[in-house]
Chains A and B, each alone.
Chain A
Amino acid sequence: ILNVEQSPQSLHVQEGDSTNFTCSFPSSNFYALHWYRWETAKSPEALFVMTLNGDEKKKGRISATLNTKEGYSYLYIKGSQPEDSATYLCAFFNQAGTALIFGKGTTLSVSS
């Protein structure tokens, strides 16, 4: 069974703080790693899809890195804002798979 682990499970930061989360996944047969942002009462929205070792992607204040050899990805948020409060999901797609395998998510709360 493929396992995707995310840490921390939750965290609370102050407005302006920078933060980062970790996603660990199986390093064998890697195909793609997805990050999603899931706000309360809404549906998950794709942030990044990463496929190459060493990939770095950025969208505004949010960026992500990928290490496929050791099986981890980091999501960074620079200068957190209250509107960044959400659950951040990572999901792994392997070469033989037919579905994304999701982690349990990291829930971020940003106080003003």
Chain B
Amino acid sequence: EAQVTQNPRYLITVTGKKLTVTCSQNMNHEYMSWYRQDPGLGLRQIYYSMNVEVTDKGDVPEGYKVSRKEKRNFPLILESPSPNQTSLYFCASSLWGGEQNGYTFGSGTRLTVV
């Protein structure tokens, strides 16, 4: 089944403790992206990747890192999480980012930083 797999689904952590949210897709998509969803705001892009080893900042990149060492994986890294990073995170992928098939989203990761 074609899908984007995110892990974990839920995570509670403490301020400053490094964490990684994994994202993997099995559709051979070139483009992958991370979004965060906060109440009253639309999905906001954190980072994106047009291809392997090519990543760039989105609208809200502060406090996050990403890597794209292989096409299928695009982990989101929080080196020193803070409470303002408490949010619902989505990973998404598409064939090349602007085509007509729409984005495929992962199931989301609800992160709480205390």
Contacts and interface: CB of A to CB of B under 8 A. Distances in A.
B102 A36 contact: yes
Given A44-B90, A98-B50, A104 B105 contact: no
A93 B42 contact: no
B12 interface: no
B102 A104 contact: no
A32 B42 contact: no
A42 B107 CA distance: 6
Given A4-B42, A98-B56, A99-B33, A46 B103 contact: yes
A102 interface: yes
Contacts of B98: 31-32, 93, 97
B90 A43 contact: yes
A59 to B, nearest CB: 12
Nearest to A50: B100
Interface residues of B, number: 25
Interface in B1-54: 33, 35, 40-45, 48, 50
A100 interface: yes
A97 B33 CA distance: 13
Interface string A84-112: 00000101010001111111110000000
B33 A49 contact: no
A105 to B, nearest CB: 7
Interface residues of A, number: 25
B48 A98 contact: yes
B108 A32 contact: no
A98 B50 CA distance: 8
B75 interface: no
A36 B59 CA distance: 20
A51 B100 CA distance: 8
Most B CB atoms within 10 A — which of A32, A43, A93, A104?
A43
Interface of A: 4, 31-32, 34, 36, 42-47, 49, 51, 89, 91, 93, 97-105
Interface of B: 33, 35, 40-45, 48, 50, 56, 58-59, 90, 97-98, 100-108
Given A34-B102, A99-B45, 12 more contacts: A4-B42, A42-B107, A43-B108, A44-B90, A49-B100, A49-B102, A98-B50, A99-B48, A100-B45, A102-B42, A102-B44, A105-B42
